[in-house]
Amino acid sequence: MKIKLLDNYMEFDSPLKGYEIASKISPSLAKASIAMSLDNKLVDMSTLVDKDSEVRFITSKDKEAFEILNHSTAHLMAEAIKELYQDVSFGVGPAIEEGFYYDFEIAGKKLSEEAFPIIEKKMLELSKKAEIISRKEVSKEEALALFKNDPYKTELINELPENETISIYSQGDYMDLCRGPHVPKTSYIKHFKLLSIAGAYWRGDSKRPQLERIYGVSFFSDEELQNHLNILEERKKRDHKKIGKDLGLFMFSEYGPGLPFWLPKGYTLRRTLEDFWLDYHRKNGYLVVNTPIMLNRQLWETSGHWDHYKDDMFVVEVEDGTYAIKPMNCPGAIQIYNNSLHSYKELPLRYAELGNVHRYEASGALNGLFRVRGFTQDDAHTLLTEEQVGDEVSRIIGIYDYIYSVFGLNYSIELSTRPDDFIGTIEVWDEAEKALEKACLATGHEFKINPGDGAFYGPKLDFKLRDSMNRIWQCGTVQLDMQLPGRFNCVYIAQDGTKKTPVMIHRACFGSLERFIGIITENYAGAFPLWLSPYQVEIIPVSLDNHLDYAKEVEAKLNLNKIRTDLDASEEKLGYKIRQAQVQKIPYSIVLGDKEKENGTVTYRKYGEQNQVTVSLDEFIDMLKKDIEALK
């Protein structure tokens, strides 16, 4: 049996388990390895290798290790909960981007964060037992017998095919339905923290039971854990809801849950973002349109949204029928396309819209600007020929590269494939998925497959942004649609004179303006870059009696040069005014006294800095203009 290890080969006379192979290489490697990659598939160290294979051992230094450790920690938490409480049923407990969670239900009891120290103590006790985590394969019938008292596990098992191989993981008296892999022993799990608890509907369905979900995180060292907890504390300080209130950006009212009100400073921020978006899209060949917020039910039935989305739509009955407030902009864009006959020479036709949409989100899911019921999608819908798809998707990715770079946001891409409730044929879906894959690779971007998470009308590329706090956000999307244009009888005159159905690309870069503003508010901790800041300059006269008139002159000239200003003409002391400018995180504050008034100068200080600089007013304006252009 020949085993490939990186660039080397080793030969063995008989089948060996993973930890046996590692031991023959090095005892220290065997001790450090928590799992292995066997022919590019992650498996447990106890897996038997019985044929020529490629093996890579996973240690704490490998990127896969964090997920494996956190998945194992989810099991350890479930074991602790089962020992501490009676009649517990478990849902699912996966590893996630920054840790793990487990969904569970305790008969007649609800937990709170007060239970966390008790659960963590029990987890440490179980960890110290160093129980071996072992895998066993069983039949569907055996699995049903093992989990007969757990309705949620039973439901999952019943959905598996009859001939499916089902794996069970055990540690001590605890067992779980799981594909794995896991760390070899519970003793590998030492540095963890339970973070929060929330309600979670079983399988994400609000009509199903609501389980409890505990989130946590686990690391291989206490130093890593403490660093992460420090980051979480910093994130709390950056909460966009708090910053939005402190800076006077937006508010909510009990008369419209999930419907944000934009205050003057917040609207300035939002409008500046919109202007940036509009200007860039017009320069890149997009035709800006606007479509009605409410349209007849027949349109939504034709598009397929009624069957797939009606529970999330706000519906209104009027004398000429049933209308729905739009949850998406795409059917409106199609109506604009169908307003006239088009030739292949016009394609691609790119329609861009800052479209206000509404979706009925459960009240418990609402979260500041991140989860709202009314929001503005920075939408664009491009109609084009099949041959143009690759170039157009590559072009869109280039646009995203630029826009995200302006905000200092890196991203990764996921290709979301055909869901269960798709419309159209499998053949067309396969073709669409391949087209997106090819276009993505052509731009030099790697991507990860996200199976079954495409829109009901087509596959999509999802852009996952990473902010300054190392969080991942789903924002941009590129969706390839070979269904809706046909449903609405969209055509173009082809080169041979025949009528053909165009392809449609749905795309949004910010995703929603509201959510994106929430993201960048936390990313910048409220200290927005100069070009985006609601107020760019705070004007502070030393004395209202002697310097207010000059301050108003400076204000007028700055406004004339389209620099947004705030003049503090309050009776407060100078020191207080200067501190307030810093609290409000205004990029520049200028202090105007006798010297400035006499010489026609300004003394400025940048936010977060102590040194003060005196320059002429014209020099100050030129400097700001250059900074604004450079920052975009």
pLDDT digits (tens, 9 = 90+) for 124-157: 999 999 999 999 999 999 999 999 999 999 999 9
Whether the per-residue pLDDT at 377 is higher than 80: the answer is yes
Active site residue 418: no
Strands 134-138 and 250-251, how do they pair?
A: unpaired
**Has residue 529 been placed in a domain?**
no
Domain containing residue 596: 537-631
CATH number, domain at 314? 3.30.930.10
Give the pLDDT confidence of 63-109 residue by residue, as tens digits.
Answer: 999 999 999 999 999 999 999 998 999 999 999 989 999 999 999 89
217 phi-psi bin (left φ>0, alpha ψ -120 to 50, beta other) = beta
Single out the residue in 10, 31, 59 at which a domain terminates.
59
CATH number, domain at 35? 3.10.20.30
Give the pLDDT confidence of 487-531 residue by residue, as tens digits.
Answer: 999 999 999 999 999 999 999 999 999 999 999 999 999 999 999
Which among 176, 193, 265, 377 is annotated as catalytic? 377
Number of domains in the chain: 4
Confidence of residue 448 (pLDDT cuts 50, 70, 90): confident
- Express as a percent the part of the chain with pLDDT over 90: 72
Active site residue 377: yes
Pair 1, 52: CB distance under 8 Å: yes
CATH number, domain at 611? 3.40.50.800
83 and 184 in one domain? yes
Q: Which of 457-461, 510-514, 541-545, 546-550 has the lowest mean pLDDT?
A: 457-461
Single out the residue in 493, 523, 553 at which a domain terminates.
523
Residue-level pLDDT at 58: 94
54 and 77 in one domain? no
Residue-level pLDDT at 490: 96
**Has residue 530 been placed in a domain?**
no
Q: What's the distance, Cα to Cα, between the start and end of the chain in Å?
A: 59
Residue 233 main-chain phi, psi, to 5 deg: -65, -40
Which among 103, 176, 297, 330 is annotated as catalytic? 330
Pair 591, 542: CB distance under 8 Å: yes
Confidence of residue 483 (pLDDT cuts 50, 70, 90): confident
Give the pLDDT confidence of 362-372 residue by residue, as tens digits.
Answer: 777 789 999 99
Residue-level pLDDT at 515: 94
384, HSE (Cβ side, Cα atoms, 13 Å): 19
**Has residue 532 been placed in a domain?**
no
- Which residue type, as a one-letter code, is found at position 326? K
Residue-level pLDDT at 318: 87
Which residues 6+ apart lie within 8 Å of 217 measured at CB?
70, 98, 99, 100, 192, 193, 195, 225, 228
204 phi-psi bin (left φ>0, alpha ψ -120 to 50, beta other) = left
**Has residue 144 been placed in a domain?**
yes
Rounded Cα distance between 465 and 471, Å, is: 8
Residue-level pLDDT at 443: 83
Which among 213, 228, 358, 460 is annotated as catalytic? 460
CATH number, domain at 204? 3.30.980.10
Whether the per-residue pLDDT at 7 is higher than 90: the answer is no
484 and 432 in one domain? yes
Instruction: Output 102 or 3, whichever has higher pLDDT.
Output: 102
580 and 486 in one domain? no
Pair 354, 274: CB distance under 8 Å: yes
**Has residue 528 been placed in a domain?**
no
Instruction: Output 193 or 366, whichever has higher pLDDT.
Output: 193
Rounded Cα distance between 477 and 165, Å, is: 36
Active site residue 507: no
Which among 359, 371, 418, 597 is annotated as catalytic? 359
201 and 313 in one domain? no
207 and 259 in one domain? no
- 260 preceded by a cis bond (ω within 30 of 0): no
Residue-level pLDDT at 632: 64
375 and 281 in one domain? yes
133 and 213 in one domain? yes
74 and 41 in one domain? no
178 and 110 in one domain? yes
404 and 312 in one domain? yes
DSSP one-letter string for 412-433: EEEEE---TT--S-HHHHHHHH
- Mean pLDDT (the chain) is 92
Residue-level pLDDT at 517: 97
458 and 317 in one domain? yes
What's the average model confidence in pLDDT over 297-305? Answer: 90
Whether the per-residue pLDDT at 248 is higher than 90: the answer is yes
**Has residue 625 been placed in a domain?**
yes
Single out the residue in 523, 553, 578 at which a domain terminates.
523
- Express as a percent the part of the chain with pLDDT over 70: 100
Instruction: Output 443 or 494, whichever has higher pLDDT.
Output: 494
pTM score, whole prediction: 0.80
Active site residue 240: no
**Has residue 109 been placed in a domain?**
yes
Which among 71, 265, 373, 381 is annotated as catalytic? 381
Active site residue 350: no
Residue-level pLDDT at 606: 95
**Has residue 515 been placed in a domain?**
yes
Which among 44, 150, 378, 379 is annotated as catalytic? 379
